[in-house]
Amino acid sequence: MPRLALLTLILLLVGCSAATRYTINVNVLSFIPQNQRTLSIPSGSGSLLFPGANQEGLLVPLPIRLDILERGQILVTATLNNTGNSAFSGSYELRLAPESDTNVNDNTGGDIGLGAGNFGVPVGGTQEISINLTLSDTQNKNALDIIKGGAFRVAIRVGASSSGGTLALNQGRISVTGRPFAVIK
């Protein structure tokens, strides 16, 4: 019996080597109830943070901790709909912050903005927006460093001028690849 236990242990150790890479895919929308995935943008001009009514953003935990994150991908897609009677224009930006930063919109405490863009939706029209970011040591490293903490906050800031509209989240996905432990060399 001891030989079987030793053989099992050896096989487990071989299966989880320093070369083993794990990819974690997080569906961010799964943290937002279906009935809260659309932001109503009122008439006028201003800036709104979504999701949530406060400045904290959405807290997203990684299901398992990886000590070494090598790369990642953030993908957010949404649909803007002009419900008013004038042009609907503005900008959007993905906001990312460490778990400890309770204001993802003030550029202090570690929060950052990335993936910014502009939009212009004619009366009665719709427009798809997409933020697709590669994370690595050479691309958006600051975002990868925030995600390395194991839990982080995320939000979309929308600055708009309109007589009314909506932003509906269609997809929110974060994928990271890494190793569960570092190797001493």
Q: Which CATH class is domain 20-179?
A: mainly beta
**pLDDT in the model for residue 185:** 42
41, 165 contact by CB (below 8 A):
yes
Mark the ranges of the chain whose per-residue pLDDT is less than 50. Answer: 7, 9, 11, 184-185
3-state secondary structure string across the chain: CHHHHHHHHHHHHHHCCCCCCEEEEEEHHHHCCHHHCEEEECCEEEEEEECCCCCCCEEEECCCCCCEEEEEEEEEEEEEEECCCCCEEEEEEEEEEECCCCCCCCCCCCCEEEEEEEEEECCCCEEEEEEEEEECCCCCHHHHHHHCCCEEEEEEEEEEEECCEEEEEEEEEEEEEEECCCCCC
**pLDDT in the model for residue 184:** 47
pLDDT in tens, 68-86: 889 999 999 999 999 999 9
Q: Where are the domains of the chain?
A: 20-179
112, 96 contact by CB (below 8 A):
yes
**pLDDT in the model for residue 27:** 94
